[in-house]
Amino acid sequence: MKKMTGNNTLLEKLEGLVSRFEEVSTLITDPSVISDQKRYVKLTKEYKDLNDIMKARKEYMQCLNGLEEAKAMMNESDPEMKEMAREEAARCEARLPELEEEIKLLLIPADPQDDRNAILEIRGGTGGDEAAIFAGDLFRMYSKYCESKGWKLEVSSASEGASGGFKEIICSVTGEKVYGTLKYESGVHRVQRVPATETQGRVHTSAASVAVLPEAEPFDVEINEGEIKWDTFRSSGAGGQNVNKVESGVRLRYNWKNPNTGATEEILIECTETRDQPKNKERALARLRTFIYDKEHQKYIDDIASKRKTMVSTGDRSAKIRTYNYPQGRITDHRINYTIYNLAAFMDGDIQDCIDHLIVAENAERLKESEL
């Protein structure tokens, strides 16, 4: 390969990663590493991330060399060759800044939580029945969105509102990079519309809060399962004959000591998701793990939030992030001043464009922060 001209600091940065990539490639085939589940998972993740950087590095080097060769060919006497060289040089010059941007983003350490599955919690806030109806609308929006992404959404528990919708609904979402995408939805969602319950035709404002938590892996938190108190009860609601006869609903109580404050609190979790008691137990345990992980993780989130006051996804769940204005058919995301007038499609799960804008804004902030 020809030597690249000039002093290229980006390539120097990448050079150090080449040997690490080779090292990790060898390690993940080592039987002693494969048998250590925790280490193996960590290394395969690192391998995947480094592999993406190596691919970008390869294209970047090819582009730099292509540009050099094209410039050399411009001295040719053949007009056709000259024209070809000009086209190639223009292509490389356009692609190089794009690649530099891509590589810089790849070099910024990603949030280690991004690849995880997520627990999605939606709660009706101020506004009584109307807030619960809106929480139901948000649940439908996320259900449609998850379906379009090929993710699996399962309801863990739900408390229905008096006029429809939900006072609270908790679901687990599994799929690829779920938390990294849905984390931008954490916060207060405000709705302005004439409620179905309103007779005078006045526009009301109500709100629902959304919390997206990274789902904990079994080895993230230590739980002494012997200290969990289990109860079973009969589920209620739809489900035919079985529901009220069999005690398939489970309730767990666990005394947990908060390592950040030293205080002990009782955690209560109910699960009536399936008609199968062992499955419900398993899911209640998964939610317990996530709950504790989230609490322990809150300190980490607070640290990040204090560092990045402007960050799009600070994890501050009390911040008002978006307004849904029905009379105007408008959606406004307050974090990035993003406004669109396609409310009907948005409520039908077409939220990717908004999330993309949030990701772009966050990436710009991360680049500025790291000053690569």
Provide the domain limits for residue 21.
9-107
Q: Let me know whether 81 and 122 are in one domain.
A: no
Structure confidence at residue 10 (pLDDT) = 77
Token pair 């290229």 is at which residue?
8
Of 258, 281, 304, which residue is a domain's last?
Answer: 304
Task: Establish if 238 belongs to a structural domain.
Answer: yes
Give a yes or no: residue 184 inside a domain: yes
Residues 174 and 323 in one domain: yes
Residue that finishes a domain, picked among 304, 330, 351? 304
Shared domain check, 83 and 201: no
Whether residue 171 sits in one domain with residue 233: no
Which residues of the chain are modeled with pLDDT < 70? 1-8, 109, 217-220, 235-246, 297, 299-317, 370-372
pTM over 0.75: no
Q: What element of type H or E holds 73? A: helix 37-73
CA-to-CA distance for 102 and 98, rounded, in angstroms? 6
Whether residues 25 and 47 share a domain: the answer is yes
Nearest-angstrom CA–CA distance, 116 and 10: 30
Q: Determine, yes or no, domain membership for 2.
A: no
Q: What is the 3-state secondary structure (H, E, C) of 206-274?
A: EEEEEEEEECCCCCCCCCCHHHCEEEEECCCCCCCCHHHHCCCEEEEEEEEECCCCCCEEEEEEEECCC
Q: Is residue 68 part of a domain?
A: yes
| Rounded Cα–Cα distance for residues 101 and 103 (Å) | 6
Cα–Cα distance measured from residue 333 to residue 258, given in angstroms and rounded to the nearest whole number: 34
**One-character DSSP codes across 76-98:** -S-HHHHHHHHHHHHHHHHHHHH
Asked if residue 127 and residue 200 are part of one domain, the reply reads yes
Q: What is the pLDDT of residue 310?
A: 42
pLDDT at 360: 81
Q: Is residue 216 in a domain?
A: no
On whether residue 113 sits in a domain, the answer given is no
- The sign of the torsion formed by the CA atoms of 42, 43, 44, 49 equals positive
Q: Name the DSSP class of 183.
A: G
Contacts 24+ apart (CB under 8 A), 363-371: 363/105, 365/308, 365/310, 365/311, 365/312, 366/105, 366/108, 367/104, 367/105, 367/108, 369/308, 370/104, 370/107, 370/108
Alpha carbon of 131 to those of 123, 157, 160, 267: distances in Å?
A: 8, 18, 11, 26
Bridge partner list, 232: 250
Token pair in block for residue 184: 């931008």
Other beta carbons less than 10 A from residue 309's beta carbon: 8
Query: How many separate domains does the chain show?
Result: 3
Residue 255 within a domain? yes
285 and 161 belong to one structural domain = no
- Domain check: are 198 and 135 in the same one? yes
| Alpha-carbon distances, residue 371 vs 242, 324, 359 (angstroms) | 60, 36, 18
pLDDT for the residue numbered 371? 61
Structure tokens at 289: 């793990």
Return the CATH number at 286: 3.30.160.20
Residues sharing a CB contact under 8 Å with residue 288, sequence separation 6 or more, in sequence order: 223, 228, 252, 254, 267, 269
Are 204 and 324 within one domain?
yes
CA-CA distance, 333 to 199, in Å (whole number)? 30
CA distance 171 to 212: 10
311 falls within a domain: no
Of the residues 304, 329, 350, the one at which a domain ends? 304
pLDDT of residue 99: 87
**Any idea what the CATH number is for the domain that residue 171 is in?**
3.30.70.1660
Is 206 in contact with 125 (CB distance < 8 Å)?
yes
**Do residues 285 and 356 share a domain?**
no
- Examine the domain organization and report whether 101 and 123 are in the same domain: no
Residues 185 and 60 in one domain: no
Tokens of 244: 């009220």
